[in-house]
Chain A
């Protein structure tokens, strides 16, 4: 598919367009338009297209981002709901304590009902006794599984992307090609561009060797495929770096949910009339 933008390769010629003051008019800018229809009442939001080839290469081009994905109402309650769901739905608590019936012993009445002067008791393992069972303790394993509606999870992703863009923590990169596989280069680049303490890099295709090797040694920079993007990771990392392919992929997948029919049976099962297998956002 034609992406509607141009890619140019350049050798070690130095930074093309950057805030250092040197201009190289030989390179044409990388421009990206929105491929999916935008409502006439809204206009696309924009972001600079940067490059990882040189630390000062931050003004490669201009990318248009769909407003229904990158400029939605900032629903912080949805973000909280989705982040809490992500933490809890996988949780199985194995805490379990014994009740008075499960504690060893305690079948016999310790002393007679009347006459001994002590309080009346029926067993030495009742919850009142030391060493006795627990009355209302955890009775695990307990599952905390629940599912939020698909559209809420999709909206959570859209809100997270919007928040990242509007807080200047989103950066768009044309490709993830790096000149060296040195992790220090990537760290210096992130520090030079004021990216923050943690960076999340997202791409659709397989990652080039240089960046995979560089990120392996680093704890503050993470690579994930676009299918693995989630609200918890977005909130955990300070900066998000998307490639142009990842932007197109996310827009297509997240906007599909706005115009789809409700499923008659779960989308995980095959549909004959839908062109590609749809999956939960």
Chain B
């Protein structure tokens, strides 16, 4: 092997293999330093409240007792003066008002109209009928597992 210039480690390796091994180890340490630097800002980014995702909510919904009055008040608030005599007959033709009403109801009751039923909401009565139907989250097997079972019946349900 000839003379090597510019070697900064003051070690004369006996073979090329030894030199390559030392270079590889030094490269690895630099990678570790870089990784540590990248991990720190990532953690800071994740700790911002706008990026942390809330845990998934259950989709179960039970209609509250004052549903009709609550709905009526929202309809009057959104539609203002232009209401027919029976507030349940209010047509929801205007997209802006429909969105406002349905968004407010979803925000208050925690249950939004799914996309498949949006076109069926033609008047306020339809919305009332939708919000009267309760929604269950689990499947029948979950219910069965949660119910009281005789001692010789076991349900093992792994999702």
Which A residues fall within an 8 A CB radius of B? 12, 14, 17-23, 29, 31, 33, 43-48, 54-56, 58-59, 61-62, 64, 71, 165-168, 170-172, 179-180, 182, 185, 188-189, 191-192, 194
Contacts and interface: CB of A to CB of B under 8 A. Distances in A.
Interface of B: 42, 45-46, 48, 50-51, 53-57, 59, 95-96, 98-100, 102-104, 106-108, 110-112, 114-116, 118-119
A192 B54 contact: yes
Contacts of B103: 17, 29, 59
* A-B pairs with lowest CB-CB distance, top 10: A188-B53, A46-B118, A45-B119, A62-B99, A47-B115, A59-B103, A168-B114, A29-B99, A12-B50, A55-B53
Given A29-B96, A48-B118, A64-B95, A21 B108 contact: yes
A192 to B, nearest CB: 5
Contacts of A44: 119
A46 B112 CA distance: 14
B59 A194 contact: yes
Nearest to A30: B99
B115 A22 contact: no
Contacts of A185: 51, 53
B107 to A, nearest CB: 5
Nearest to A191: B56
Contacts of B102: 59
Contacts of A168: 114-116
Given A48-B118, A64-B95, A194-B59, A23 B53 contact: no
Given A47-B118, A168-B114, A180-B45, 9 more contacts: A20-B107, A31-B96, A31-B99, A43-B119, A46-B115, A48-B115, A54-B50, A59-B103, A62-B98
Nearest to A14: B50
A165 B50 contact: no
B115 A171 contact: yes
A59 B106 contact: yes
Given A12-B50, A29-B103, A55-B53, A19 B115 contact: no
Nearest to B53: A188
B94 to A, nearest CB: 10
Contact of A189 (B53, B100, B111): B53
13 contacts: A12-B50, A19-B57, A19-B110, A20-B107, A21-B107, A21-B110, A31-B99, A33-B95, A55-B54, A62-B95, A62-B118, A168-B115, A192-B56
